[in-house]
A and B are shown apart, each in its own frame.
Chain A
Amino acid sequence: MSDQPLFKVTIDNVTVEVPAGTTILQAARQAGPEVAPPAMCYYSKLEGSGGKCRTCLVEVSKGSEKDPRPMPKLVASCRTTVMDGMEVKNYTSERVLDARAGVVEFLLINHPLDCPICDQAGECHLQDLAYEHGKAGTRYEFQRRTFEKHTLGDKIQLHMTRCILCYRCVMVADQLTKKREHGVLDRGEHAEITSYLEKNLDNEFIGNVIDVCPVGALTDKTFRFKNRVWFLKPLNAHRDCEKCCGKVTLWNRGDEVFRVTARKDQWGEVEDWICNDCRFDKKKTSDWVIEGPREIARHSVISANKYIGLKKPTETIDEVIGKKPRLFMDINKVSGVNRKDIDLSLIEGPAHSIDFDKDK
């Protein structure tokens, strides 16, 4: 047993005990997804990640038992370690929600809302963040930042326009592949991820940059635009691989393997890195030993129509934070097609907007 002292920390009224040195974000994740702050740049498996996107800002309303003074500024929960007796407000803090709405607005200045055509739709962390914390409109009325498209070899495509400069891919290339493949050029709003003079990213594990990208900036050329993820069936599979663990998620339609990715945990982080061979070259079902269906977090659109491991959800957020969660749009309230008095099965052919016209 570890003799490391345990610190008691309360996040949005939920108290957990964690070892000294744990960050607020990790403590919140232990407390549960209801109180865990969002994170766009933090990645627990990448050293030095976090602190950049400012989406995980939280309010420390009590510093510790010894020094109960609150922290004057909001702090990045992914880089701030807990103290014994610390009290943190996340969803219960208006300041935090306001700052996060600001961050969403800033991020969406130069990130196009092309979710309907973006390959990351359904798996995009920014999409989730904007849905939970953003505002329906933007106040920005100037020209947006645009970039030339970069091709990073025959397997990876970079759409810099969608990049939010989280640095995760740079860290993967630097730490995982032990080879600095690419980096950030220029500064401020002109900063961009790029390889050295259009050089290809060429390394046995470089495909992992696609998995860590929280938005649709880095995509898999063997898969992109071939299908939408929510039409695919995720399966746990493995193979004997000399280079990596060989444990992956296959994204099938019928028997056809459309995409291979690493397995991701509840927080959207890769469990084990996989090599390029497994990711890009093994696209036959016969290459793999199928273990069974993969459970997908319920909040994701990918879980639609996938009933494996389905648990009746209990809505605990309002219990934890003492109020209803603030969603920027409740589809049930704003949708004109959500009328109980209309029986869709009685409409001949497909339904049209005119069928839902209240004045009709």
Chain B
Amino acid sequence: MKLLLENAHIEGIRFFEAYRKHGGYRSVEKALKMSPAEIVEEVKKSGLRGRGGAGFPTGLKWSFLAKPEGIPRHLVCNADESEPGTFKDRYLMEFLPHLLIEGLITSSYALGSNATYIYIRGEYAWIPDILEQAIQEAKNNGFLGKNILGSGFDCEIYVHRGAGAYICGEETALIESLEGKRGNPRIKPPFPAVQGVWMRPTVVNNVETLAAIVPIINMGGEEYGKIGVGKSTGTKLISACGNLNKPGVYEIPFDLSVEDFIYSDEWCGGIPKGKKLKACIPGGSSVPILPANLLLTTAKGEKRLMNYESLSDGGFQTGSMLGSGGFIVLDEDQCVVKHTMTLAHFYMHESCGQCSPCREGTGWMWRILKNIEQGKGKMEDIDLLWDVQRRIEGNTICPLGDAAAWPVAAAIRHFRDEFEWHVLNPEEAQVRNFGLAHYADELLIQN
């Protein structure tokens, strides 16, 4: 069942005319006849969880929004999708921009936001134009601007291009950046729901979350809540990449098993050249990596499903997180140490530098990993690496510290033997270039 990508294949769906012809903007027409409180109630009933990574219930988040008299409120769409392995929002914005705009209008009405912002990642250089065109089309057709559809509700949507910093995906850093300041996370409390953009009450939601408001209003919160498993309701976009025959963006039902998702022809179609599955990072690079055996089966011995509860079953000892849905698959040829080193470099590069454990610790982790990967490490380096990540996790201002620490912790927890192999076989470790092995094979075949 597809709720978001149902019409994605239709030619011209990017433009208003085709989108409207296929039932677009029905939810706005319906929502504007409801009261804002009723919409929030529908979202609560739907059980929708934020699709940015943390998975916090959206309706609950909306109900936290302070509503002081005479002070404007804001909705901000977090389109700063920078997590390695996650590219689902890009797909939505590029091919279904009106779906996002439609969700934004309804959400703005529900939250009382007359000025709504889309904060988009700087590297998505071509997408702001697509969004701005969609906004203009919606405006020309009376769905944006003054007195939308005669309801008395005014709303403008502004697209704000970020300068390309991963940290600006963190909601308070995003707000700082939107205000024109350095994108440093703020210390919470106060939460954005009380003091957000320009110290006004603000809700920050992910692109996919806001797009999901459209089917929720169209079909009703209760109906939406019936789709899915347990507290994972609706559907989820997954951006699958790595060693897969059919990488791409998929809209999955929450009762889909991980095994089916990887191997079924309907989905990712298995691993190229029949190679074995080694590991997977199931929810974007910041969540713990899982070895094949733990990925396919939960701690209770059941089939692991592609939903919030099942993927986190067993905690970080034997589980991981659904996160943002960036599904990165590693086959048997891949080197976990090298991948962890690459990720550590990313987090070092993207640390904002405000708090000391993250500023200094991420760089330290990368350097130790680089040494080990290059066969220059010592056995005690592995324990040191563990200790450094332990002292970063939970001690930083924002979750970037955790995001940097978890992949390292999980890699050591599940693949310690591979780290030890690098230490014990320094010469082999130096000549084995894991990242290129895959392509080297293909070159041999071609020649």
Instruction: Establish whether residues B395 and A165, one from each chain, have CB atoms under 8 Å apart when the complex forms.
Output: no
Residues of A within 8 A of B357 (CB): 54, 102-103, 106
Residues of B within 8 A of A110 (CB): 360
Residue of B nearest to A76 (CB): B187
Given A139-B384, A188-B349, also A164-B356 (CB < 8 A): yes
Is A46 positioned at the interface, with any CB of B under 8 Å from its CB?
A: no
Is A124 positioned at the interface, with any CB of B under 8 Å from its CB?
A: no
Cα of A296 to Cα of B239 in the assembled complex, Å? 62
Cα of A103 to Cα of B364 in the assembled complex, Å? 13
Given A139-B384, A165-B359, A188-B363, also A52-B397 (CB < 8 A): yes
Residues of B within 8 A of A329 (CB): none
Contact partner, B353, options A51, A103, A107, A165, Cβ 8 Å:
A165
Cα of A167 to Cα of B391 in the assembled complex, Å? 22
Residue of B nearest to A53 (CB): B356
Give the A interface residue count (CB, 8 A): 33
Instruction: Establish whether residues A109 and B360, one from each chain, have CB atoms under 8 Å apart when the complex forms.
Output: yes
A179-187, A254-262, A316-324, A330-338: which lies at the B interface?
A: A179-187
Instruction: Establish whether residues A189 and B348, one from each chain, have CB atoms under 8 Å apart when the complex forms.
Output: yes
Given A140-B364, A142-B364, A142-B367, also A189-B353 (CB < 8 A): yes
The minimal Cβ–Cβ distance linking A112 to chain B, given in whole angstroms, is 14
Cα of A52 to Cα of B351 in the assembled complex, Å? 13
Instruction: Establish whether residues A52 and B394, one from each chain, have CB atoms under 8 Å apart when the complex forms.
Output: no
Residue of B nearest to A165 (CB): B353
Given A103-B357, A189-B348, also A57-B363 (CB < 8 A): no
Is A6 positioned at the interface, with any CB of B under 8 Å from its CB?
A: no
Cα of A76 to Cα of B356 in the assembled complex, Å? 13
Residue of B nearest to A183 (CB): B182
Given A74-B395, A183-B182, also A165-B364 (CB < 8 A): no
Is A312 positioned at the interface, with any CB of B under 8 Å from its CB?
A: no
Cα of A76 to Cα of B354 in the assembled complex, Å? 14
Instruction: Establish whether residues B363 and A189, one from each chain, have CB atoms under 8 Å apart when the complex forms.
Output: yes
Contact partner, A102, options B363, B367, B395, Cβ 8 Å:
B395
Residues of A within 8 A of B349 (CB): 188
Is A79 positioned at the interface, with any CB of B under 8 Å from its CB?
A: yes
Q: In the complex, which range does the number of interface residues on chain B fall in? A: 20 to 34
**Contact mask A178-205 → B, CB, 8 Å, 1/0?**
0000011011111100000000000000
Instruction: Establish whether residues A191 and B394, one from each chain, have CB atoms under 8 Å apart when the complex forms.
Output: no
Cα of A103 to Cα of B356 in the assembled complex, Å? 7
What is the interface of chain A mostly: helix, strand, loop, or mixed? loop
Residues of B within 8 A of A184 (CB): 182, 353
Interface residues of B in 154-194 (CB under 8 A from A): 165, 167, 182, 187
Cα of A76 to Cα of B367 in the assembled complex, Å? 28
**Contact mask B341-354 → A, CB, 8 Å, 1/0?**
00000001111111
Interface residues of A in 142-199 (CB under 8 A from B): 142, 164-165, 167, 183-184, 186-191
Interface residues of A in 85-131 (CB under 8 A from B): 98-99, 102-103, 105-107, 109-110
Interface residues of A in 51-80 (CB under 8 A from B): 51-54, 57, 73-74, 76, 79
Is B407 positioned at the interface, with any CB of A under 8 Å from its CB?
A: no
Is B355 positioned at the interface, with any CB of A under 8 Å from its CB?
A: yes
Is B270 positioned at the interface, with any CB of A under 8 Å from its CB?
A: no
Instruction: Establish whether residues A189 and B351, one from each chain, have CB atoms under 8 Å apart when the complex forms.
Output: yes
Cα of A106 to Cα of B353 in the assembled complex, Å? 12
Contact partner, A188, options B187, B351, B395, B397, Cβ 8 Å:
B351
Residues of A within 8 A of B364 (CB): 106, 109, 140, 142
Is B362 positioned at the interface, with any CB of A under 8 Å from its CB?
A: yes
Interface residues of A in 23-70 (CB under 8 A from B): 50-54, 57
Most A CB contacts (10 A, CB to CB) among B352, B384, B395, B397 go to B395
The minimal Cβ–Cβ distance linking B174 to chain A, given in whole angstroms, is 15
Cα of A258 to Cα of B361 in the assembled complex, Å? 40
Instruction: Establish whether residues B356 and A107, one from each chain, have CB atoms under 8 Å apart when the complex forms.
Output: yes
Is B136 positioned at the interface, with any CB of A under 8 Å from its CB?
A: no
Known: A50-B187, A106-B391. 14 other contacts (CB 8 A): A54-B395, A54-B396, A73-B395, A76-B397, A102-B395, A106-B357, A106-B359, A107-B356, A164-B356, A165-B356, A167-B354, A187-B165, A188-B359, A189-B362
- B-side interface residues toward A, CB under 8 Å? 165, 167, 182, 187, 348-357, 359-364, 367, 384, 391, 394-397
Q: Which 8 A/B pairs are nearest by Cβ-Cβ distance? A: A191-B353, A102-B391, A106-B360, A188-B351, A51-B187, A73-B394, A189-B363, A106-B356
Q: Could you show 5 A-B contacts with beta carbons less than 8 Å apart?
A: A54-B397, A102-B357, A103-B357, A183-B182, A188-B359
